[in-house]
Amino acid sequence: GAGVSQSPRYKVAKRGQDVALRCDPISGHVSLFWYQQALGQGPEFLTYFQNEAQLDKSGLPSDRFFAERPEGSVSTLKIQRTQQEDSAVYLCASSAAGTGQETQYFGPGTRLLVL
């Protein structure tokens, strides 16, 4: 079956613009994660959903970052008033259940460049 998909794959935004990044997890996967990966660094956790409930948002860097998963499947990461330091690859991952030890399957990421 299809893996995790993300769109768009590339996004260029002017500083101050709002952006929305989409994640389609593997069908039936309960858990969904967002990570941010700066150039030359490993991915860093942003937030976690179990179905539609956002159980952990401690990694979101500021209140400009907002994530939702209203129907427990597709998720959107929104960044308001983008800044240059938001430039990064945004990775989405999903896992089958919510017990904490399942394999996380990652999408290809969205590369965001803020000018």
How far is Cα 40 from Cα 84, in angstroms, rounded to an integer?
16
DSSP β-ladder status, 110-114 and 10-13: parallel
For residue 38, the minimal CB distance to another protein (Å) is: 11
Among 24, 65, 88, 109, binds another protein (CB under 8 A): 109
- The answer to whether 98 contacts another protein (rule: CB under 8 A) is yes
For residue 18, the minimal CB distance to another protein (Å) is: 24
Q: Which span (12-20, 63-71, 73-81, 100-108) binds another protein, by CB under 8 A?
A: 100-108
Tokens at residue 66, please?
């907002």
For residue 97, the minimal CB distance to another protein (Å) is: 11
The H or E element spanning position 79 is strand 75-79
How far is Cα 84 from Cα 10, in angstroms, rounded to an integer?
15
- The answer to whether 34 contacts another protein (rule: CB under 8 A) is no
Tokens at residue 54, please?
């956002």
- The answer to whether 25 contacts another protein (rule: CB under 8 A) is no
